[in-house]
Chain A
Amino acid sequence: MNGQKSKNGKQQKKPSLQQALKKSSLAFWAMSPMLIGVIGLVGLFQVLVTPKVLTSIFRDNALVDTLIGTLVGATASGSPVVGYMFGGELLGQGISLYAVSAFILSWVTLGFVHLPAEAEVLGFSFTFYRNILAFVFTVIIAVLTSVTIQALI
């Protein structure tokens, strides 16, 4: 099968695999300055946000700590494994499960350092609404998870 018929009956030529590879490589190359910028910020945040800094932010209040956990997770950046390690460390230091759940969830789903890139690629409106929704749902899921765990154990 070399092509498909479009609505007006004209034959649409299917790209060869080589052309498709060239197109996707070029698309990636075009985004390289943006990706380099994001990675530069990720490195900076990894140095500035240490476990010591994180622990000092929490206030021993479940609701406030859930919000702080979400904000801190969204601000910090790194691989999910590092997020789990930080989360485990925070739990060990007596930070509430509400805050830790919010922290490890927002670590992966939100990212202030990604915002300029996301807005550039998907548009400001998309980025704004998606991140607001993700923020609100992260808080809700963290609370629901903690309440469920307390009910189960």
Chain B
Amino acid sequence: MKEKEKPFAFRGKFFALLVLAVYIGLFFFDSHTALPALQKSARVVLKILPIFAVVIVFTALLNYFLQPKQIVKHLGEESGAKGWLVASFAGVISHGPMYAWYPMIEDMRSHGLRDGLIVVFFYTRAIKLPLLPIMIDYFGVIFTLVLSFYIIIGALLQGWIFEQLERK
């Protein structure tokens, strides 16, 4: 497995500049939209800062305790049923927006994490364990249980189909 240190470089600079350009344009032509949007974005930043901190610490702990060979063993090509189970569980308990997890996923992928398991992780994130009571409150127990059941089955099927597509 290649383990080359990549030189430091900012990523997504042009994308960030494009979004900035949209905001600048909006400030000139529709400031009634631009200002609340900026305030909402600032609120999102404040809300997910603790999640970013958790992800940074979690990634560091994974790198510290798990050697690449162990990641391959538990979540790589030979991980079998355990890999699917770990990915599903990790998706269900993970918190925060999807993009907060990209750096950790990228790091683990470079150490051998299977793509099918990433697909499962991303989809099982639809089950939000701490938010289940709120979902039950809005939609009822039966709806919540049925939807959660189908999400897990659907996530596993997607992971499997993804890997079949990759092999072609």
Q: Give the Cβ gap from B138 to chain A, nearest Cβ, in Å.
A: 4
Given the interface pairs A34-B12, A134-B158, A137-B158, the reply to whether A15 lies near B138 with Cβ below 8 Å is no
The residue on B at minimum CB distance from A148 is: B146
Q: B10 contacts the other chain (Cβ, under 8 Å)?
A: yes
In Å, the complex CA distance between A101 and B103 comes to 30
> Contact between B63 and A134 (Cβ–Cβ < 8 Å)?
no
Binding site for B on A (CB under 8 A): 4, 12, 14-17, 20-21, 23-28, 30-44, 46-48, 79-81, 84-85, 87-88, 91, 97, 101, 105, 108-109, 111, 114, 116-118, 120-122, 126, 129-130, 133-134, 137, 140-141, 144-145, 148-149, 152-153
Given the interface pairs A30-B8, A43-B40, A130-B119, the reply to whether A137 lies near B154 with Cβ below 8 Å is yes
The residue on A at minimum CB distance from B157 is: A137
Interface residues of B in 58-98 (CB under 8 A from A): 59-61, 63-64, 67, 69, 97-98
Among A23, A35, A48, A118, find the residue whose CB has the most chain B CB atoms closer than 10 A.
A35
- Interface membership of chain B positions 97-136, coded 1 if the CB is closer than 8 angstroms to chain A and 0 otherwise: 1111011111101000001001100110110100100110
20 additional A-B pairs beyond A116-B12, A141-B151, beta carbons within 8 Å, are A4-B67, A15-B64, A16-B64, A17-B60, A17-B64, A21-B57, A26-B8, A37-B15, A40-B41, A43-B37, A43-B44, A44-B23, A88-B138, A91-B139, A114-B97, A117-B12, A118-B98, A122-B106, A122-B109, A133-B161
In Å, the complex CA distance between A22 and B134 comes to 37
The residue on B at minimum CB distance from A136 is: B158
Q: Which of A4, A85, A108, A120 contacts B69 (CB 8 A)?
A: A4
Given the interface pairs A15-B64, A31-B12, A120-B12, the reply to whether A87 lies near B37 with Cβ below 8 Å is no
> Contact between B15 and A116 (Cβ–Cβ < 8 Å)?
yes
Q: Which of A17, A33, A42, A117 contacts B44 (CB 8 A)?
A: A42
